[in-house]
Copies of this chain bind each other. A is one copy, B any other.
């Protein structure tokens, strides 16, 4: 590795299918790469995706050695929670709230023990309706509260995507639609969603 490369800040985005799609053309990580290039900052940062579809917090826990620690990042952004809630209804294998917190804490503490700066995000949406009538809204709010607590307790940065998505939808989803505002299918990001997330995530870059 050259000395110039050594100076790059390596940021890994660690998550589920949303993050897996983030590295594809038009994906939020790819868009951040483009933003960095436009600002001529792409020699300073290296962005990597580590997203796998269907992942829950304990999947991240089980694969963090291989997929994150082995790559020696400076910063890790964790975006997880949708499947922990969603799989309750779709497979019967969601994550208990108290176990979610325990595994989430274990992930954060292990990253920090490796001198990695950690940012947490709240799970954006399963459904974009703004009147709190998406099936998983209550549970997503509950798990988001847990993540906010974990962030505070461990002095992590927080990108509160759930709050940001709702605020955006209240303005832009006046028809109370299920999807099509920031998502294609209630969960995964459309073009506007990828742009929206990229902008929010750039805050991580700007501070590191």
Q: Are B142 and A138 in contact (CB under 8 A)?
A: no
CB contacts under 8 Å to B, within A83-102, are 87-96, 99, 102
> Is A169 close to B, CB under 8 A?
no
CA A5 – CA B87 in complex, angstroms? 49
Given contact pairs A92-B92, A93-B88, A99 touches B142 in the complex (Cβ within 8 A): no
| Closest Cβ–Cβ distance, residue A139 to chain B (whole Å) | 5
Chain A interface size range = 20 to 34
Complex contacts, A92 vs chain B, CB 8 Å: 87-89, 92-94
- Provide the main secondary structure of the chain A interface: helix
Q: Which of B59, B91, B131, B145 contacts A133 (CB 8 A)?
A: B145
> Is A74 close to B, CB under 8 A?
no
> Is A135 close to B, CB under 8 A?
yes
Q: Which residues of A contact B (CB under 8 A)?
A: 58-59, 62, 87-96, 99, 102-103, 127, 131-142, 144-145
